[in-house]
Amino acid sequence: MKLSFLRCASAVAFATLLFAGTAQQAKAQVSVSGFFVAGVPTTYGLFVNNGSPLTLALVTISVPAQVNAVTNLSAPNGFQMVFDSDFGTLDLLEDADIFTQPTFAPGSTVGIFQLQSELDLNGAAFTALDVQGNPFTGTISLNPLAAPEPGTLALALISLPALGYAIRRRK
């Protein structure tokens, strides 16, 4: 009886350690998310969320290796975006200026990294490296930016003059 109790206790202790380690790993994640505005080319806005315990050194997004696959790059102050058409990589990194303060610090969200592309970047793979070289991988999660439908715009344009007429007539 004592032996089975010890086995149960050790199994519970092992499971606790296993799940504690899993929770710690799940907490230490990096994600890339954002929005897109449909069009030709599509405009993207990306945010990097660092949930890891260390500062990130680099975030690399995999895109097809073709000239002009990504254009009109714009990064937040203190950061750079570099597209390499030979390797098919889009790198998000801090600039080399020691006087700029922003970093991919633990617990931070950095954005908006803006770009245009005719490619669908939703679900594209990325790899992030922290300052010790530990890799974090995932896929980009994008949501469409809400834009009014043409019918809604037409209704608004028609109703504004009618509203102005009603207000003027009331006076």
**Residue-level pLDDT at 84:** 93
What is the set of domains in the chain, with CATH numbers? 28-150 (2.60.40.290)
Both tokens of 112, joined, read 């908006």
CB 110 within 8 A of CB 47: yes
CB-facing half-sphere around the CA of 75: CA atoms within 13 A: 17
Ramachandran angles phi, psi of 52, nearest 5°: -85, 165
- What residue ranges in 70-167 does DSSP mark as E strands? 71-74, 79-84, 89-94, 109-117, 125-130, 135-139, 141-144
What are the pLDDT tens digits along the chain (171 aa)?
A: 443 433 333 333 333 323 333 323 333 388 888 888 887 888 999 999 999 888 888 999 999 888 888 999 999 988 999 999 999 999 998 876 666 667 888 999 998 999 999 888 889 999 999 889 999 999 998 888 766 666 766 777 777 787 777 787 877
**Residue-level pLDDT at 119:** 87
Does the pTM exceed 0.75? no
**Residue-level pLDDT at 27:** 35
**Residue-level pLDDT at 99:** 67
Alpha carbon 52 to chain centroid distance?
Answer: 15
